[in-house]
Chains A and B, each alone.
Chain A
């Protein structure tokens, strides 16, 4: 990984666009489809796919009807005959409309065909609270797809990883769900070198520490980094791990960290109950039982749909302050049996 911190920063949005551009230039099998993705329709509602159709033509980059099953189905079918489709499902909530295609087909065809066929698609989708979109346009649903054998799920938190994960996802022979956070699209950071890839299934230690391991991804990873100042002031040295790939997750890196710190807090924007944190917590307690200094903590959204009203919405997803509070509590409090 080359240090590009002297180069002009790019946003996550620009990084994804660059990744698609570079990949498509190099490999004609890569095709893009989704609602409004082509340039006559402005290259995506936020411009993530801008310039692609003008550069690569409207055979390879197609704006589709509003038809999520048709979109994912077309991606699956084309991938069965040698193409590498990158399909956009505009908002993660709309993956529900294509669940049959994703869960019953994309995830399972390799297995059900006994390895004769595979589905090398990428499904890009955006989500996240912060824009008042309400209950049907803001959900983090990664747990459902992580729970589906055959799917891979990734979520970048910075421009360099956004580029690298997209390049890797496109080349991965299995279906990858690539989660983009809406408010984080414009967060700047060092750009990736052309061709840079982030291996799927590999986490990144975003910050080293000794007292507590914070495991997160996507928007809340950014929030966790924003909590460092408060944690440092409280004398808590946090080690922050960016999973980058939610499933299959990098157990080795997380284990090494928890073995060192003895305390773990998993943070995600998704609802806490039955979320990714539950899976990681269960795995950690099973492996480290008796060696943990505190129960494994989970910090996510409350068990409720995303509310519209601003103060409620702002209180919904974990932010830097609440992450710091939780991490400090985990690191400093004496813990009772019920973990509170």
Chain B
């Protein structure tokens, strides 16, 4: 079953974050736990891991500001 890749909430007041960089390629196989994307909030920069293993289908381009909970990609 496909797994959604969501933009997490980090910190107390975060409502949105910038996906500064994808760390895996669209269409490539990814493994659960591997670094998937770089997330910048106004408080910190974080590397977010893949929640599942499978093929990555990216929904949004890097550099954009997205609300917490946005489905950034799918893993199937």
Decide if A and B touch, CB cutoff 8 A.
Answer: no
Q: Could you tell me which A residues sit within 8 Å of B by CB distance? A: none
